[in-house]
Structure 1
Amino acid sequence: MNSLLWFKLEVPNIKYSLSLLLFVFLILLLGGCWSKRELNELAIVAAVGVDRVNEQYEISVQIVNPGQVASKKATSQSPVITYHATGKSLFEAIRKLTTLTPRKPYYSHAQIIIIGEELAEEGMNNILDLFQRDPEGRSEFNILIARDTTAKEVLSILTPLEDIPAKNILNALKSSEKAIGTTDSVILDDLINSLSGKGNSAVLSTIELHGDSAIGNNQTNVERIQNPAILKFGDFALFKDYKLVGFLTMAESKSYNYMNNHIKSTFEILSCPEKGKLTTEVTNSEAKITGRVQHGHPKINIKLKVEQNVADVNCKIDLTKPQNITALNKATSEAIKKGLEQTLDTLQKTYKVDALQFAEILYRQDYKGWNKIKDNWATLFPEIDVKVQVTVNTQGIGTSLNKDLQKSR
């Protein structure tokens, strides 16, 4: 009786043990590093550039020199190396790179894509589509346009402070975005969403090369107090249907960011009542765009609220008096509003680019009205009635010492 009971008790345990062993065996088969790639077998790409040259695509890749970046000793080697290849298609050019680089280019760590102005004018839908499809790519690429130069030249410039020029460009882009508001970091997915939306439009920051490019790609460019060649961000580039159609000015770029809610901080320079200038620091900015369709005509309202501090006073003005603060708020409001209206005129009349996505706003906020006018959007957009309202509030006027200096001037 006891042996029979033991047998009944052990049989389930044996089945359980066999199932557990089979499970462990399957886990071992699924695991492992069958697709692993060692770091010393890869060339880490920091940035990618694409140009149109003689009816062909030219790709440039900025590859990190790991030994030089990791080394604490000063050497004559460059921290990065750029390789270039051409092809009838971009895919062919990318494959040709493997014949030049000693290791396989690895794009997952790339931070920036720079597109040449000529290629951008021709159209870049195929280029963006390829990068989006690439399984090794990443949607966090920041897209820039090389203005009055080529992407190849931009990626060949060695920069100070940062060993890797791509990192220097990205850091400068972020800093400018936070401090001035005339640039905007746009990643691949956001760009494609804007271009494929109702307005088929987008805006990208531009980068320019100033100085001697022949010296810029030499180590001596970072060994001097003044660099012979520097990279500088320029005005916004406007896109419609994946093609570059024009540029905003620096002031218009800032106004665009005001309306697009991308101002983190900036400044405004105003004329004082008598003579001299006063500079304010914008510490907060919040824009709200609403739209509706009335009797077949689209209406857009833009309300902008701005908070500022007094930053620099070069005139005689007593900022302790409430009436002067009220006048300052009004002056700032009028200056910003004038800039917004000028930018809207450029977008609507000059380029006819719905960069602020008015079509999307009408689609979301007045769906029935949008359906009635969507087929005529191209002709309606330049004539849209846009109402702009700017409210400014001054919070800080400086220290007591500054107040005394302002009174005495």
Structure 2
Amino acid sequence: MKHKVLMSFVLIILLVPLTGCWNRRELNELAIAVAMGIDKSGEQYQVSAQIVNPGEIVTQKGGGTNSPIVTLTSTGDSMMEAVRKMTIKSPRKIYFAHLRLFVIGEELAREEGIAKTLDLISRDPEFRTDFFIIVAKETTAEQVLKIFSIPLEKIPANKMFESLETSQKVWAVTATQTLDELISDLVAAGTNPLLTGVEVTGDPARGEKRENIQKTSPQAILKINGMAAFYKDKLVGWLNEDESKGANFINDKVKSTVVTVQCPKKGNISVELIRSKTKVSGKVVNGRPEVDVTVRTEANVAEVQCGEVDLSKTQTIYDLETKTEQAIQSDIEAALNKAQKDYKSDIFGFGEAIHKADPAYWKKAKKDWKKEFVNLQANIKVDVKIRRIGTLSKSFLNELKE
């Protein structure tokens, strides 16, 4: 009897690992999507998927004759219906576990909002949450996914994913927003979302052809341009480059960037910010909400176009730090003005700061926070410390003869 019980136990143990393959998927049965787009087509949703052609990706010599990617589109009353209808055009099931990019058309974002479109990708376990979400500026998500944009990358979605990461790290006019971060901003009472915008420049029709990336000057490219400001889940407007950088300073998303200031006479000095930290604290003064925005940065002198500037002098460094602080503050004020006066949307999370500082006040103010935000006083302080001036204290330009 004991022997039978032992054997039964051993068999059960051996069978457990075998159940791990019940939902296996063979690669040759899947169409791997690296990007997904959503637009509105009348009363229906139009879903686009950028599918990888594995045979062309692994081609080592001479290059294949087929496209490394194909973009499929389908419409339906819901996103799930549209996705399933894609099988009419594809012999394989569309597989979204390797998604890198989710693109939302501007028309959909403005008119209907983005909340409904996020339900499927947040509910379906096949979707991971580490892909970036962007808005197609003045175009459709489908058009963005069809463009072959740059010769350095066979898969456009991968190129855009890497461009977003790089731009945020070194230029600070974009913000890489994942699904979890976006949903958190949508459901929070004291903040509204900011998403990076991408536009098609040039001839879109030529950009859809593979020959576009075989030229030294492509006929059409994808360009990151501005940030989309939302009120709740609807797009209300765009921030330009300076305003986007200012918003990123407030939101503590600046890792590195370049600030250009004018020389005393002629030319410019480029200051490279190497570190930046922003602290936002809320308070209630005489019954009115206020926020203190403190930005502290460290920088190096990267380029000097004026020969008369002597960086070995303490006063010169002080003046340069002051001008850099003023330039950063100008960007921050531009972002604040656009958000408060034009869009009336708290894209900085100031409401959350007030909530932390004074929960009792926030309980009363949160229902009408839009009105409170418009009149909110923001006290901005920027502190820049220049650490290095490079190998030259004086530019050789002053030694050049006229």
TM superposition score normalised by structure 1: 0.93
1:295 Cα deviation from its structure 2 partner: 3.1
1:370 alignment counterpart:
362
Query: What is the distance in 2 between the residues matched to 1:59 and 1:351?
Result: 29
Query: What is the distance in 1 between the residues matched to 2:55 and 2:282?
Result: 56
Query: What is the distance in 1 between the residues matched to 2:169 and 2:119?
Result: 30
**In the TM superposition, what are the counterparts of 1:104-253 in structure 2 within 5 Å?**
104-122=93-111, 123-159=113-149, 160-253=151-244
1:34 Cα deviation from its structure 2 partner: 1.9
Matched, 1:94 2:80: no
1:274 Cα deviation from its structure 2 partner: 2.1
1:282 counterpart (273, 279, 297): 273
SS in 2 for 1:403: coil
Larger Rg: 1
Query: What is the distance in 2 between the residues matched to 1:319 and 1:305?
Result: 21
2:377 alignment counterpart:
385
1:368 Cα deviation from its structure 2 partner: 2.2
Which residue type is aligned with residue 392 of structure 1?
A: V
Query: What is the distance in 2 between the residues matched to 1:112 and 1:361?
Result: 31
SS in 2 for 1:170: helix
1:29 counterpart (3, 12, 15): 15
Of the structure 1 ranges 17-26 and 64-73, higher mean CA displacement relative to structure 2 is found in: 17-26
Report the identity percentage: 41
How many residues were matched structurally? 394
Query: What is the distance in 2 between the residues matched to 1:271 and 1:244?
Result: 36
1:408 Cα deviation from its structure 2 partner: 4.2
1:407 Cα deviation from its structure 2 partner: 5.5
Q: RMSD over aligned Cα, in angstroms?
A: 1.5
1:225 Cα deviation from its structure 2 partner: 0.8
1:365 Cα deviation from its structure 2 partner: 2.5
2:328 alignment counterpart:
336
1:51 alignment counterpart:
39
Query: What is the distance in 2 between the residues matched to 1:232 and 1:137?
Result: 26
Deviations 1:130-155 (A, max 9, x none): 21011211111210100011111111
1:200 Cα deviation from its structure 2 partner: 4.9
Tell me, yes or no, if the aligned pair for 2:346 and 2:370 is still in contact at 8 Å.
Answer: no
1:108 Cα deviation from its structure 2 partner: 0.5
Matched, 1:60 2:48: yes
1:109 Cα deviation from its structure 2 partner: 0.5
Tell me, yes or no, if the aligned pair for 2:282 and 2:353 is still in contact at 8 Å.
Answer: yes
Query: What is the distance in 1 between the residues matched to 2:330 and 2:44?
Result: 44
Give ranges in structure 2 of 5+ residues lacking alignment: none
Query: What is the distance in 1 between the residues matched to 2:12 and 2:144?
Result: 51
1:25 Cα deviation from its structure 2 partner: 1.8
1:285 Cα deviation from its structure 2 partner: 0.7
Give ranges in structure 1 of 5+ residues lacking alignment: 1-13
Query: What is the distance in 1 between the residues matched to 2:36 and 2:64?
Result: 26
Which residue type is aligned with residue 283 of structure 2?
A: R
Tell me, yes or no, if the aligned pair for 1:212 and 1:228 is still in contact at 8 Å.
Answer: yes
Deviations 1:8-65 (A, max 9, x none): xxxxxx62x4444222222343332222111111111110011112232111101111
Distance 1:404 1:279, change over 3 A: closer
